[in-house]
Amino acid sequence: MRFGTLRPEHGWRAFGTELVVVILGVLIALWAQQLVDRWRSRAAVADLRQSLNMELGQSLDAYRLRIAQGDCARRRLAELEGWLAAQHSGRPTKLTSPIDRPLGFALDTTAWEQAGDTLTNMPLKQRIAYGTIYSELRNYDLLRLQEKTVWIGIRGYEGAAAISPERQFDLHALITQARDIDRSIELNWQQDLPKEGVKLGVKLDTTDVPSHYWRDLCRPLQTKPA
Q: Tell me, what's the pLDDT at 130?
A: 94
Domain chopping of the chain, boundaries: 12-225
Average pLDDT over residues 6-23: 70
pLDDT, one tens digit per residue, over 50-72 is 999 999 999 999 999 999 999 99
Percentage of the residues of the chain whose pLDDT score is greater than 90: 58
Instruction: Please state the rounded mean pLDDT for residues 146-166.
Output: 95
Residues sharing a CB contact under 8 Å with residue 74, sequence separation 6 or more, in sequence order: 179, 182
* pTM to 2 decimal places: 0.80
Nearest of 66, 71, 196, 74 to residue 143 by alpha carbon: 66
pLDDT at 7 over 60: yes
How high is the pLDDT of residue 18? 72
Confidence band for 131, pLDDT divided at 50, 70 and 90: very high
- Grouping H, G, I as helix, E, B as strand and the rest as coil, residue 155 is helix
